[in-house]
A = this chain, B = another copy of it.
Amino acid sequence: MLTLYYARGTCAVASHLALEHTGAPYEARRIDFKTEQQRSPEYLALNPKGRVPALATPQGVLTETPALLQYIAQAHPQSGLAPLDDPFGLAQMNEFNSYLCSTVHVNHAHKGRGYRWVDPADTAALEAMRRRVPQTMADSFAMIEGGMLRGPWVLGERFSTSDYYLYTIASWLEGDGVDIARFPRVADHFTRVGALPVVQRVLAAQAA
């Protein structure tokens, strides 16, 4: 059985949604960022990066959302979460997921975690980063609106892990000072994914 370590409101939601989608049993363990549980010796022994998500599998622990999403899809091929029989389609899924991970998530992180890239005492630089987040997030979502989101799902007619990942990151827009209504196709996708029973179940579990 797979065990996901997640924290509320983080990118780990995407992997949680993919696991729930499979219909297979799994365990979801919450890591409390408020008490810095991700920095506890127990958690660092599991994931030295001190981040979420981490996925404990029978063969060992995996990290990094794009890797987890493809792994969950491959471990549950009947789930239809990825075009496993189509290397180009799979690459399109990974291309989209990699963009969310390395560009959009990174943009977002400059709001609350700018200390990763400057002296944490440099409040002016931290504030300069924070100020720019509405712009960088809007620029990224303009790219997504403009074609990366093919419609009705990210990959076109085929639903995939990318839909859960996009939903997860799009849920940050409001907090990042970006009105999702500026991106009608993204907003429609967000509404449709958010209405799925899988999503409702995971949101309820994370809120409990």
Contacts and interface: CB of A to CB of B under 8 A. Distances in A.
Contacts of A116: 136
Contacts of A20: none
A95 B49 CA distance: 12
Interface string A70-99: 110011000000000001101110110011
Interface stretch (A35-43, A117-125, A176-184): A117-125
Given A125-B125, A128-B118, A129-B125, A90 B64 contact: no
A1 to B, nearest CB: 15
A49 B142 CA distance: 11
A57 B124 contact: no
Main secondary structure, interface of A, reads: helix
Interface in A96-139: 98-99, 101-102, 105-107, 110, 116-119, 122, 124-125, 128-129, 131-132, 136
B91 A71 contact: yes
A49 B99 CA distance: 10
Contacts of A91: 62, 67-68, 70-71, 74
B48 A147 contact: yes
A3 B110 CA distance: 35
Interface residues of A, number: 46
Contacts of A128: 118-119, 122, 124-125
Interface of A: 48-49, 57, 59-60, 62-68, 70-71, 74-75, 87-88, 90-92, 94-95, 98-99, 101-102, 105-107, 110, 116-119, 122, 124-125, 128-129, 131-132, 136, 143, 146-147
B59 A88 contact: yes
Nearest to A71: B91
A71 B59 contact: no
A102 B106 contact: yes
A60 B92 CA distance: 10
